[in-house]
Structure 1
Amino acid sequence: MFPFLRLAWNVVRAKRKPPLKVTDTCVTPMRVSLLDIDIFAEMNNGRFLTLMDIGRFEFSVRTGLWAHVRENNWGFVVAGSSVRYRKRLHAFQRFEMHSRVVGFDERWFYFQQNMQRGDTWHCSALLRTAVVEQGKLVPTARVLEAMGQADADGTIPPWVQAWVDAEAQREWPEQ
């Protein structure tokens, strides 16, 4: 089940925090709840991705994107992800999620989201995301212009481009 109350709480907190540029890192403090854990009392792998939704949502509120999403009846979509897990997070542990756009092209925003506790990185994900309108991608230039950040540097780092290229080689299953 999606943690709607947790999302609402994070939106309220995000509105009280200083605004961010699209190139800034959004740090979201969190705690592993009983609804996040599996039978081993550690955060479920799928829950990491669900909580990353909340981190990107806070990012959208603090960068001003959320206001334009509501105004234009836009939506969000994730079109690809690659996740690496390093260390377990256990019930009730506090951690921080670091969310940032590491680059963008004409169609996609590439997010890196990391979960950290102290000096230890627990999980890192790279996601290909977009803003959509009536089922079609909104060009990133239009999104950035709406946000007043049309001059943002979206240069895609080589490691992200390598992932994009590798994903392009992957075949879809036959139907």
Structure 2
Amino acid sequence: MNLYFRLIWLMLWRVRHCRSIDFLGTSKIDYRALPLDCDINFHLTNSRYPAFMDLARTYMLAEMGLLNRFLKLKWMPIVNAAEFTYIRDIKPLRKFEVQSKVVGWDEKYFYVEQRFVSENTLRCIVHVRGVFVCDRKQVPIATMVKEAGFDGPAPELPPEVVKWKAFLQLKKERNL
């Protein structure tokens, strides 16, 4: 339930007062691990990470100046895959920051890296692969990048994303 309040706070206040970043810039938003965000092991529960990531990606779009534009176009973001590496836990009542950035794209998907940092220490790193859809059809990546106002070449994907992408393809082929 508290994530609904955080979503409302994000949409009504934070996106109106956010800084501006470029398309490949790093977005930063901070939160505090409330008791209801934590599990019986007294740390941020694994199921909360994706929820905070959703909020952080929404905020990233706002900082890029794209949130309202994409909403008007009726483009909805869809996560296709995510890969988590938990490094250190986040304890109750601790502040943490979610850092999000677009690290690249290919012919079909865009890739976002999200980092959870608390007390100047990396706690979790996540790679997300996604698309935007409109009327149940995928928005072409070239259209999305053009609408974002980016006219440079696609950045080279980080090596770990390249390997993850190959792993996802292998899983797909083996399970058809």
Q: What's the CA shift for 1:172?
A: 7.6
CA contact (8 A) 2:42 2:91 kept: yes
Q: What's the CA shift for 1:32?
A: 0.4
- Alpha-carbon RMSD across the aligned residues, in angstroms, is 2.0
Task: Give every structure 1 segment of 4 or more consecutive aligned residues whose post-TM-superposition deviation is greater than 3 Å.
Answer: 171-175
Structure 1: gaps spanning 5 or more residues? none
- Quick one: which amino acid aligns to residue 98 of structure 2? M
Q: What's the CA shift for 1:134?
A: 1.4
CA 1:67 to 1:152, structure 2 compared with 1: closer, same or farther past 3 Å?
Answer: farther
Paired residues for 1:144-155 under 5 Å: 144-151=145-152, 153-155=154-156
Q: Secondary structure at the match of 2:98?
A: strand
Q: What's the CA shift for 1:14?
A: 2.9
Distance in 2, Cα, partners of 1:57 & 1:170: 29
Task: Note the alpha carbon deviations across 1:127-174, whole angstroms, 9 max, x for none.
Answer: 101111112211122112222223363322222111101110014897
Q: Secondary structure at the match of 1:3?
A: helix
Task: Note the alpha carbon deviations across 1:74-122, whole angstroms, 9 max, x for none.
Answer: 1010000110111111111001111011111122110110101122111
1:23 paired with 2:40, answer: no
Other-structure match for 2:6: 6
CA contact (8 A) 1:68 1:147 kept: no
Other-structure match for 1:74: 75
Other-structure match for 1:124: 125
1:64 paired with 2:65, answer: yes
154-163 vs 18-27, which moves further: 154-163
Other-structure match for 1:140: 141
CA 1:166 to 1:59, structure 2 compared with 1: closer, same or farther past 3 Å?
Answer: same
CA contact (8 A) 1:107 1:138 kept: no
Distance in 2, Cα, partners of 1:32 & 1:48: 11
Q: Secondary structure at the match of 2:24?
A: coil
Distance in 1, Cα, partners of 2:73 & 2:135: 10
The TM-score, its normalising length taken from structure 2, stands at 0.91
Distance in 2, Cα, partners of 1:134 & 1:154: 29
Distance in 2, Cα, partners of 1:73 & 1:2: 26
CA contact (8 A) 1:86 1:121 kept: yes
Number of residues paired by the alignment? 175
The TM-score, its normalising length taken from structure 1, stands at 0.91
Q: What's the CA shift for 1:72?
A: 1.0
- Quick one: which amino acid aligns to residue 60 of structure 1? L
- Quick one: which amino acid aligns to residue 14 of structure 1? V
CA contact (8 A) 2:18 2:62 kept: no
CA contact (8 A) 2:29 2:99 kept: yes
